[in-house]
Amino acid sequence: MDILRDGGSCAAVACLGGDGEGGALLPGLADDQPVAVHCVTREALVLTIAAIDQAGGVPGDRVEHCAVADHMLAGELARRRLRVVTQPTLMALRGNDYRARVDPRDRTDLWPYARLLKAGVLVAPSSDALLTMPHVTSGDALCAFRVVGCR
């Protein structure tokens, strides 16, 4: 996988070639600028961890959303001290829709806020206010009991 850091502060895994050696592009990786990678699938998280490992992580690198992460991936994030900014209220508000669309093997690993905290991941909750409640604390009660909404 070829990695580039070009000074960007926001990043996305672009592609992985069919031979497994394709070009993942992470803007920001070339000049030691932290990156923020949006990961809404297990595969995106695995590729992101691999890309940051190859490029060499820097303080401030983070995963945005981290929508799917099992116990192993949570441990990998913690071990690398990668930060996560996630929106736990999205599961509370749209959980039924997510569960219907996600691979059945990933259903128990959706929006794993508590799991990330327990694993020792540096997690910051975010409201994603344009799409959810404007205040993080408004959704905390829903998330504390892993209430799933049908919106």
> Stretch 7-32: mean pLDDT, rounded?
44
Ordered alpha helix ranges (H), 4-59: 42-55
Could you give the residue ranges of the DSSP H alpha helices within 1-151?
Answer: 42-55, 71-79, 88-101, 113-119, 136-144
- The strands making up 122-125's β-sheet, listed across from edge to edge, are 36-39, 62-65, 83-86, 122-125
Q: What is the pLDDT of residues 132-148, one digit of tens each?
A: 555 555 555 555 555 55
pTM of the entire structure? 0.74
Whole-number Å distance between alpha carbons of 75 and 69: 9
Digit-coded pLDDT (tens) for 68-77: 999 999 999 9
Distance of alpha carbon 47 from alpha carbon 122, whole angstroms? 20
Decide: helix, strand or coil at residue 64: strand
